[in-house]
Amino acid sequence: MPYPNKRAPVPLYYQIMRWLQEQIEAGHFKAGDRIPSERELTEQFQVSRMTVRQALRELEAQGYLERVQGRGTYVSIPKVEQPLLALTSFTEDMHRRGMTPGSVLLRAGTIPA
C-alpha cells in the first residue's frame, strides 16, 4: 500500500501505522534504522502531520519505534525477553531469534589489591 485509501472505513493513521509496521516486519526498515521524518511521511501519504504523528505514537507504544527529540524516529532494537518456564542458554536463545550473540570488551586492566 503506497498510499492510504481515503475512502476506506479504516482511519488514515491506522493505514499508515499498518504500512510502517509491515515495512519493519518485512525487513525494509531494520532495527536502528531511521525512518522518514514526519514531514516526509506527510508528503508521501498526502495526509496531515497530526495523522502521521498518531501513527508514529501508536508504533512507539507498541515498541516498534523510538523517537529521539531533534534527531528522528528509529526502529526499536528488539527487547530480549526470557520466559520463566524455559531455561536455555543465551547463545541458543539469540540464534533462535535470528540474532548473532557476541561480546565486546569495554575495558581491561590491572587493579592493585
Closest of 112, 39, 101, 99 to residue 72, by C-alpha = 39
pLDDT in tens, 41-67: 999 999 999 999 999 999 999 999 999
In a domain, 32, yes or no: yes
Q: Which of 35, 20, 37, 33 is nearest to 77 (CA)?
A: 33
List the beta bridge partners of residue 75.
65
Number of structural domains in the chain: 1
**Look-up of cell digits 501513527:** 55
Other CB atoms within 10 A of residue 15 CB: 20
Q: What is the CATH number of the domain that holds 64?
A: 1.10.10.10
Tell me which residue range forms the domain holding 65: 12-75
pTM score, whole prediction: 0.67
Query: What is the pLDDT, as a whole number, of residue 41?
Result: 96
Does residue 5 lie within any of the structural domains?
Answer: no
Angle at 76 between CA 47 and CA 2, to 5 degrees: 30
Q: For residue 67, tell me if it sits in a domain.
A: yes
pLDDT grade, residue 37 (50/70/90)?
A: very high
